[in-house]
Structure 1
Amino acid sequence: MADMDKGKEPREQFGAIFGDFAPGQKDSSENPMMRSKEAAKTPLPKRFYKAASLGEETGDRGEALFGVLLDGRKVKSPAKKTITVPSRALAQALVAEWEAQEKEINPALMPLTRLVNSTIDGVEASRGAMIDEIVSYLNNDFICYPATHPERLVLRQKEHWHPVLDRAEEALGGRFVQASGILAVEQSPVMGERLRRLWADLDIFQLGAVHSIMTLTGSALLAFALWDGFLGPDAVWTAAMIDEDWNIELWGEDEEASKRRQFRRAEFDAAVLVLAALRH
Structure 2
Amino acid sequence: MAGKDTDERVEMLPGGFVPGQRDSTQNPMMRAKEVMKTPLPKRFYKDVTISEDDGGYRVLLDGKPIRSPAKNIISVPRLAMAEALQAEWDAQDKEIDPATMPMTRLVNSTIDGVEEAREAILDEIIAYLGNDFLCYPASHPERLVERQKAHWMPVLDWAEGELGGRFVQASGILAVEQSPVMGEALRRHWQSLDRFQLGAAHVLMTLTGSALLPFALWRAFLDEEAVWQAAMVDEDWNIEMWGEDEEATKRRDFRRRDFDAAALVIRAHRS
- CA root-mean-square deviation: 1.6
Contact 2:28 2:254 in 1 (8 A): no
Corresponding residue of 1:61: none
What per-residue deviation string (whole Å, max 9, x for no partner) do you get for residues 197-233 of structure 1?
0000100000001111000000001111111100000
Corresponding residue of 1:18: 14
Corresponding residue of 1:39: 35
Secondary structure (helix, strand or coil) at the match of 2:8 reads coil
Amino acid at match of 2:147: R
Structure 2 CA distance for aligned equivalents of residues 229 and 23 of structure 1? 25
Q: CA deviation at 1:38?
A: 2.5
Q: Say if 2:73 is the partner of 1:82.
A: yes
How many percent identity over aligned positions? 68
Q: How many residues align?
A: 269
Corresponding residue of 1:246: 237
Contact 1:19 1:35 in 2 (8 A): no
Structure 1 CA distance for aligned equivalents of residues 155 and 165 of structure 2? 13
Contact 2:15 2:112 in 1 (8 A): no
Q: Say if 2:224 is the partner of 1:228.
A: no
Pick which of 87-96 and 116-125 moved more: 87-96
Structure 1 CA distance for aligned equivalents of residues 6 and 65 of structure 2? 7
Structure 2 CA distance for aligned equivalents of residues 19 and 248 of structure 1? 32
Corresponding residue of 1:161: 152
Q: Say if 2:198 is the partner of 1:198.
A: no
What per-residue deviation string (whole Å, max 9, x for no partner) do you get for residues 176-195 of structure 1?
00012221111001110000
Q: Decide whether aligned partners of structure 1 residues 29 and 235 sit closer, same or farther in structure 2, where only a CA change above 3 A counts.
A: farther
**TM norm structure 2:** 0.95
Q: Say if 2:264 is the partner of 1:273.
A: yes
Q: Which segments of 5 or more consecutive residues in structure 2 lack a partner in the other structure?
A: none
Contact 2:15 2:109 in 1 (8 A): no
Secondary structure (helix, strand or coil) at the match of 1:125 reads coil
**TM norm structure 1:** 0.92
Structure 2 CA distance for aligned equivalents of residues 31 and 50 of structure 1? 32
What per-residue deviation string (whole Å, max 9, x for no partner) do you get for residues 2-49 of structure 1?
xxxxx6672313453325542122457744422321332333111000
Amino acid at match of 2:107: V
Corresponding residue of 2:166: 175
Amino acid at match of 2:48: A
Q: Say if 2:250 is the partner of 1:259.
A: yes
Secondary structure (helix, strand or coil) at the match of 1:174 reads coil
Q: Which segments of 5 or more consecutive residues in structure 1 lack a partner in the other structure?
A: 1-6, 59-63
Corresponding residue of 1:139: 130
Contact 1:160 1:239 in 2 (8 A): yes
Aligned equivalent of 1:52, options 45, 48, 54: 48
Structure 1 CA distance for aligned equivalents of residues 79 and 141 of structure 2? 48
Secondary structure (helix, strand or coil) at the match of 1:53 reads strand
Amino acid at match of 1:255: E
Corresponding residue of 1:93: 84
Contact 2:28 2:255 in 1 (8 A): no
